[in-house]
Chains A and B, each alone.
Chain A
Amino acid sequence: MSYIEVRDLRIEFPKFDESGKALEPKRALRGVSLDIEKGSFTAIVGMNGSGKSTLAKCLNGLLLPTEGSVTVDGMDTRDDMHIWDIRSNIGMVFQNPDNQLVSSIVEDDVAFGPENLGVDPAEIRKRVDEALKKVNMYEKKDKGAHMLSGGQKQRVAIAGAVAMKPSCIVFDEPTAMLDPAGRAKVMEIIKELNAEGITIVLITHFMEEAQEAERIIVMQGGLVAADKSPEELFSDAEFIKKLGLELPPAIELRDMLGMDKSVMTAAEIAGRI
C-alpha cells in the first residue's frame, strides 16, 4: 500500500445558467490514478485550469471525489471518522500569504492548528518554537503578522503547517507572489523538510522548482499527461512545448550546446565544456 492512493478520481463542479437551470457540469478531474510514497518529493505542473489545484485539494479531503477514491495511509477521505486524522497528517500551504494567516501575532498564528487539535499547552509552546526556528522566523515570534514581507508571511504559513507535525505537506504555488530572496528561502525550506522525512507535493509553474523533485506529474485537461523523473520529462523538448510548459533554464542551455541528456545543471554543463 502506498501512502497516498488516488484511484480513477473524478471531480465535477455543478454549473447553472442565470435562471438556475442546471448546465453540463465542469469536469475538473476526469479519471486520475496515482500513488505517492511516504517521504517522496513530487512536483505537479500543468497549465492554468489543468486540474492541479483541484487534485491538491482532494489529497486532504478539502474536496471529495465525485467518483473514484483517495486514501491516505489507508484512510478514505470520504470517511467522516478519519477526515480529521487525514487533515492533521496532510498540511497545506497556498499561494497568497495574505489569505492564510488567521491571527495578528506570528506565534498565535502558528499555534492555531495544534490548539484546534487539543494539543497540551506545554507541547504547543514547544511545537511553535520548533516550527518557527525551522523556517528561521523565531526571532519574529511576537511581531504583528501584517508587519512581515510576503516571503516572511509564507514562512509563517509553513511553520503553521509544520506545527501540526504532518507526515505530508502540499504546497500550491507557494512562491508565485514572492520576490527572488523570498522564493529561494521557501524552496530551501521545502527541501529541508523533505530531507527530514516529510512527504512533499509541490504545485508550481516554475520548471526550475519542479526540477528539484524526484518525480514530476504533468496535468492536462483534468488528466495525468505525464508522470516521469525530471531527467526523462525534460529530455523531450517537443513534448514539453506541446504541454504548454517550458524547459528549465539549465536544460535549455544544455540543448542549445548540444550536450547529452544526462546533463541537468549549470555545474554539470561547466564540467563538459
Chain B
Amino acid sequence: MSVEVKDLKYIYNPDMPGETVALDGVSFDIKEPSLVSIIGHTGSGKSTLLQHLNGLIKPTSGDVYIDGECITGEKKNLTEIRRKTGLVFQYPEYQLFEETVAADVAFGPKNLGIDEEDIERRVRRALKFVGLDYDEIAEMSPFELSGGMRRRVAIAGVLAMEPSVLMMDEPTAGLDPQAHREILSMIKTLQQDMNMIILLVSHNMGDVAELSDRVIVMSDGKIVMDGTPREIFGRRRELRDMGLSVPPAAVMAEEISSKLEGFESDALSIEELAEDIKKFRMTI
C-alpha cells in the first residue's frame, strides 16, 4: 500500500489572463498505513492535490502512483483509480440523495458492478466503521438524521468502496462540539482497525495534532515542511507567517511561557500542557 507523488505541477487557465500555478513541483511518498495531514492557508494547493490523487484532474506535469501503479498516464482506467482512492469532499452530507441510508451507502459499490450479497456485506461493514448500527438505521431516510450522523453516512458511502487510500477534506468543519468529537473518534477507529492510508486536509490544528502520524505543510503550491506533529508545530513563527497556527494547547503554552520565566512546553494537547505546568510547579 503506497502513495507516491513525483514533481507534480498543475496550472489553472494556462496561457490565459487568470493563469495560476496551483501546484509547483510537489513530491512525497507514503509507504505504509498511516494518517498524514496536509495543512496550508486557503489557496495553498491542498484541495488541488487531493483531486489529483483520485484522478479528478490531470497534472500539467509530474506523476502520481497508487500502490505502485501510475494513475496519471494516458488512457488510465479511472474507475479502478477511484475505487482505490476514496475522496470525502467538504460537507459531504450535501451529496446524500437516496431514500434510505442503506441505498445511499450502496450506491458506489453498485456502480462498480459488485453482486448484491457482497454489497450488503460492504454496507454493513462501512456503517459499523463509522459507528452506526445497520439494523437501526438502514431503512431510515438520510434526511431524518442529525448533521453529524448524515456526515458519517456520507463517509460510509466512500468506505463501502473499500479504498486503500482514504482522503478527507475538512471532515469536521461546521459541526457542533459533540458531532466533532464523534467524527474524531470515528477517524481513530479507522486508523486502528482498517489497514489504510488516510490523508486529512484540515484547518483545525487541534485535530491535526491529535490524529496525525505526519504533517505536510503547503504554501503557494509547494511543500514547505514535512514532519511529525511535534516537529511541525514547534515551528510556530514560520507557520504564523504562512497564515497558519498551532493547536490551542500550544498557543496557551506560548502565552504562559511569555509571562512566566523559565517555563517551557512543547505540549500539543491540553493534558500534556497541564502535566508540564504541574512539573514546573514542583520546581518552584
Contact = CB atoms under 8 A, between A and B. Distances in A.
Do these two chains really belong together in a complex? yes
A184 to B, nearest CB: 8
B82 interface: no
B175 interface: yes
A68 interface: no
B251 interface: yes
A48 B147 contact: yes
A239 to B, nearest CB: 14
A245 interface: yes
Main secondary structure of the interface of B (DSSP, over half): helix
A177 interface: yes
B182 to A, nearest CB: 10
A39 interface: no
Chain A, interface residues (CB within 8 Å), range: 35 or more
Contact of A48 (B146, B173, B206, B284): B146
B277 A257 contact: yes
A104 interface: no
A130 B281 CA distance: 50
A7 to B, nearest CB: 27
A46 B270 contact: no
Contacts of A273: 256, 260, 263, 277, 280-281, 284
Contacts of B249: 249, 253
Given A47-B178, A179-B244, A273-B263, A252 B205 contact: no
A47 B248 contact: no
A180 to B, nearest CB: 4
A253 B270 contact: yes
B75 interface: no
A36 interface: no
A269 B173 contact: no
Nearest to B99: A18
B174 A173 contact: yes
A250 B254 CA distance: 13
Contact of B173 (A149, A177, A207, A252): A177
Contacts of A182: 42, 243
Contacts of B203: 178-180, 183
A257 B274 contact: yes
A180 B176 contact: no
Nearest to B205: A180
A150 B90 CA distance: 14
Contact of A180 (B244, B255, B256, B270): B244
A270 B255 contact: yes
B281 A205 contact: no
Residue among B18, B40, B177, B205 with the most chain A CB within 10 A? Answer: B177
A269 B256 contact: yes
A181 B205 CA distance: 12
Interface string A76-118: 0000000000000000000100000000000000000000000
A107 B280 CA distance: 53
B188 interface: no
Contacts, number: 107
Interface string A134-167: 0000000000000101110000000000000000
B175 A253 contact: no
Given A205-B174, A266-B255, A181 B245 contact: yes
A256 interface: yes
A179 B251 CA distance: 16
A268 to B, nearest CB: 10
A178 B256 CA distance: 27
Interface string B252-284: 100110011001000000110110011011001
Given A149-B41, A273-B281, A180 B175 contact: no
Contacts of B270: 249, 252-253, 256
B136 to A, nearest CB: 19
Nearest to B151: A48
A50 B281 CA distance: 42
Contacts of B146: 47-49
A122 interface: no
A179 B243 contact: yes
B274 A253 contact: yes
B148 interface: yes
Contacts of B273: 253
Given A48-B175, A177-B173, A208 B248 contact: yes
30 contacts: A47-B146, A48-B146, A48-B175, A48-B176, A149-B41, A149-B42, A173-B174, A177-B170, A179-B41, A179-B243, A179-B244, A182-B243, A183-B203, A207-B177, A244-B176, A244-B177, A244-B178, A245-B178, A249-B206, A249-B248, A249-B251, A266-B251, A267-B256, A267-B259, A269-B252, A270-B256, A270-B259, A270-B260, A273-B263, A273-B284
Interface of A: 46-50, 95, 147, 149-151, 173, 176-184, 205, 207-208, 244-246, 249-250, 252-253, 256-257, 266-267, 269-271, 273
Given A181-B243, A270-B263, 5 more contacts: A48-B146, A173-B174, A177-B173, A179-B40, A205-B180
| 6 closest A-B pairs by CB | A181-B243, A48-B147, A180-B245, A249-B248, A270-B259, A244-B178
